[in-house]
Amino acid sequence: MKLGVIGAGNMGTAIIKGYIASGADPKTIYVAGHNAERTAAFAGETGIGVCKNIRSLTEQCDIVMAAVKPKDMAAALAEAAPHLDGQKILVSIAAGLTLNNLKDMTAGYEKIVRVMPNTPAMVNEGMSALCRENGVSDEDFAEVMKIFRGIGTAEEIPEKLMDAVVGVSGSSPAFVYIFIEALADGAVLEGMPRAQAMRFAAQTVLGSAKMVLETGQHPGALKDAVCSPAGTTIEGVCALEEAGFRHAVIRAVEKAAEKSKNM
Ligand SMILES: NC(=O)c1ccc[n+]([C@@H]2O[C@H](COP(=O)([O-])OP(=O)(O)OC[C@H]3O[C@@H](n4cnc5c(N)ncnc54)[C@H](OP(=O)(O)O)[C@@H]3O)[C@@H](O)[C@H]2O)c1
């Protein structure tokens, strides 16, 4: 199936790069961007095709993925809608736009998949949530799933959980980066060179995430296993609790979800 991506920004390019890295043939991928020079440079770098506008991209491709900001979606889909022929699958990755919003923007088109990916897709470690309109068959859905499984992990969810997904995986890489930066700052405070501190912090986050995913153990149990009585770790845990760390993280997810609901 040919994939066409509207918008060569952060996410559009991350998905394309990740999809190619997972083995997709660049010759089956097309992009239509706003900035002709930047889009051509990206296409040259990746070996994908460029379409001169959304109309030609929609006509040419089987899966049309809109990777533009929510505020630009209505204009982009107005150009695509007349060329959606009932067979093509329309995919939106925009935060806050529901399947119903997308249907309204395409004169009631039924073959729509809504996705919330995240930027770690760029290194094939993305986390994506997908939900679909009734017109999307299991076969069509599997084709879209293949793209997002190619760039990390992907799960189908009920649409009502999409705002939670924005908080827990769409926006949260930024929260994790702040944690990594702060962890490194702490090591710098203790005298470690910055670059080395960053490596130690990032690898520790990566390893801890793998522990959760691969052992299947509850993070609380893994935390308990690191905290020996009267040891160093429980001192650090106590400092985090005193500063309201958990509460701050829960609120960050809640705020991102709330913003997504009200977009
Ligand atoms: N960034 C994330 O972490 C993240 C995570 C999950 C989901 N998302 C969703 O992904 C979507 C894209 O976000 P982003 O961060 O990639 O934004 P972005 O970097 O601003 O990329 C959007 C791109 O679309 C282009 N564009 C706008 N209208 C267009 C049109 N009619 N035809 C062709 N290209 C057009 C823009 O070009 P100009 O700038 O030149 O107008 C820009 O290059 C958003 O809907 C967002 O909600 C983002």
The 10s digit of each residue's pLDDT in 165-220 is 999 999 999 999 999 999 999 999 999 999 999 999 999 999 999 999 999 999 99
Residue closest via CA to ligand 1's atom 19 equals 9
pLDDT for residue 211: 98
- Tell me the pTM: 0.92
Q: What is the mean pLDDT of the chain?
A: 96
pLDDT for residue 42: 96
Q: Is 65 in the pocket of ligand 1 (CB under 6 A)?
A: no
Question: Does the pLDDT of residue 21 top 90, yes or no?
Answer: no
Residue closest via CA to ligand 1's atom 24 equals 7
Q: Is 121 in the pocket of ligand 1 (CB under 6 A)?
A: no
Q: Quote the longest CA-to-CA distance of the chain.
A: 68
Q: Is 120 in the pocket of ligand 1 (CB under 6 A)?
A: no
pLDDT for residue 251: 98
Question: Does the pLDDT of residue 248 top 90, yes or no?
Answer: yes
Q: Report which of 262, 263, 256 is spatially closest to residue 118, judged by C-alpha positions.
A: 256
**What is the SS3 string spanning 56-94?**
HHHHHCCEEEECCCHHHHHHHHHHHHHHCCCCCEEEECC
Residue closest via CA to ligand 1's atom 46 equals 94
11 — pLDDT class (breaks 50, 70, 90): very high
For 115, the 3-state DSSP assignment is strand
Per-residue model confidence as pLDDT tens digits over 193-207:
999 999 999 999 999
Q: Give the distance (Å) from ligand 1 centre to CA of residue 99.
A: 18
Kindly report the backbone phi and psi dihedral angles of residue 229, in degrees, each rounded to the nearest multiple of 5, phi listed first: -60, 130
Q: Is 94 in the pocket of ligand 1 (CB under 6 A)?
A: yes
Which residue in the block uniquely carries the two structure tokens 């006509």? 59
Same fold, 3-162 and 172-261: no
Strands 89-92 and 112-116: parallel
What does DSSP assign to residue 109?
A: -
Residue 35 CA: nearest ligand 1 atom is 40
- Quick check: 97 and 70 in contact, CB under 8 A? yes
Instruction: In whole angstroms, give the CA distance from residue 189 to residue 183.
Output: 10
Q: Which residues pair with 113 in a beta bridge?
A: 91, 132
CATH 1.10.4160.10 fits 172-261, yes or no: no
Residue 119 CA: nearest ligand 1 atom is 3
Instruction: In whole angstroms, give the CA distance from residue 40 to residue 251.
Output: 41
Q: Is 38 in the pocket of ligand 1 (CB under 6 A)?
A: no
Q: Give the distance (Å) from ligand 1 centre to CA of residue 261.
A: 19
Please state whether 132 falls in left (phi above 0), alpha (psi between -120 and 50) or beta: beta
Q: Which residues of 198-214 are buried (b: 16+ CB within 10 A; e: fewer)?
A: beebbeeeeeeeeeeee
Question: Does the pLDDT of residue 231 top 90, yes or no?
Answer: yes
pLDDT for residue 263: 81
Q: Is 64 in the pocket of ligand 1 (CB under 6 A)?
A: no
Token representation of residue 262: 């009200």
Domain range summary for the chain, segments of one domain joined by +: 3-162, 172-261
CATH superfamily of 3-162: NAD(P)-binding Rossmann-like Domain (3.40.50.720)
Per-residue model confidence as pLDDT tens digits over 30-82:
999 999 999 999 999 999 999 999 999 999 999 999 999 999 999 999 999 99
Q: Give the distance (Å) from ligand 1 centre to CA of residue 42.
A: 15
Q: Give the distance (Å) from ligand 1 centre to CA of residue 142.
A: 24
Q: Which of 50, 55, 69, 162 to mutate to test the pocket of ligand 1 (most atoms within 8 A of CB)?
A: 69
Please state whether 108 falls in left (phi above 0), alpha (psi between -120 and 50) or beta: left
Angle in degrees, CA 107, 110, 114, rounded to 5: 100
Q: Which of 5, 6, 10 to mutate to test the pocket of ligand 1 (most atoms within 8 A of CB)?
A: 10
Q: Give the distance (Å) from ligand 1 centre to CA of residue 81.
A: 19
Question: Does the pLDDT of residue 18 top 90, yes or no?
Answer: no
**What average pLDDT score do residues 116-124 get?**
91
Q: State the burial class of residue 193 (Cβ atoms within 10 Å of its Cβ: 0-12, 13-18, 19+).
A: exposed
202 alpha carbon, distance to own chain's centre? 19
Q: Which residues pair with 128 in a beta bridge?
A: 154
**What average pLDDT score do residues 105-124 get?**
94
